[in-house]
Amino acid sequence: MSEIVAVISDFGGVLTTPLETAFLAFQQEHGIPLQALGSAMAAAVERDGVHPLFELEKGRITETQFLGSLEVGLREELGRDVRLDSFAQGFGTRLAPNQELIDYMAELRQRGLRMALCTNNVREWEARWRAMLPVDEIFELVVDSAFVGTRKPEPEIYALTLDRLGLRGEQCVFIDDFEINCQQAAEHGMATVWFRDNAQAIGELEAALGAVAGGP
């Protein structure tokens, strides 16, 4: 088995507080039932033939187009106008840096590991999310779905990340808070850590790196 020389990390939900918590707070503030949002998303898929969130994260539609599509569906579902123009700002302010994991990633860089970030994100949000951590000090490579036209768990984004690192999957460990994203990384030969909490993730990363499990 090849020695692991690189760590590929997700951003939202790993290096931040949980995405679900931020989303739920915004949803409750605007009085949008989860079922209504799901129905609006499904209606957009039926209407346009593509999933609007996936298209947004692949940079094929703008944030304005995405929110406009949801507003149409929510109007039909709820019988009232719903304005989502404050979504990005509201969602972003409810996310906080996961400082323990950020510090740990910085330490891994200092220990000589090559560090990459692979994120499903939104083109218009780049400045906002990058301001949450010292991206360029920690990560030599950032693969942002909105700028490369493919998203996790599509196989192309993993192949692209490995190609830009110039490494084989067996030389990398991948961490993400979605199990399906980890499963696809494993298909590319990577060791994987499905993030649930900091202690668990650090312990599993250390074990994958061949150090004493439980952290440095």
pLDDT, tens only, 79-88: 888 888 777 6
Looking at the structure, tell me whether residues 70 and 25 fall in a common domain: yes
Q: Could you tell me the CA-to-CA distances from 1 to 165, 169, 170, 172 in Å, in that order?
A: 19, 11, 7, 11
Looking at the structure, tell me whether residues 175 and 106 fall in a common domain: yes
Q: Is residue 88 part of a domain?
A: yes
Looking at the structure, tell me whether residues 138 and 157 fall in a common domain: yes
Question: What is the model's pLDDT at position 212?
Answer: 36
Q: Which of 28-37, 55-64, 66-75, 92-101 has the highest mean pLDDT?
A: 55-64
Domain extent, residue 37, equals: 20-93
Mean local confidence (pLDDT), 163-186: 98
Looking at the structure, tell me whether residues 78 and 144 fall in a common domain: no
**Of 85, 79, 120, 95, residue with least CA distance to 25:** 95
Residue 215 has pLDDT above 60, yes or no: no
Domain count, the chain: 2
User: CATH number for the domain including 148?
Assistant: 3.40.50.1000
Looking at the structure, tell me whether residues 102 and 190 fall in a common domain: yes
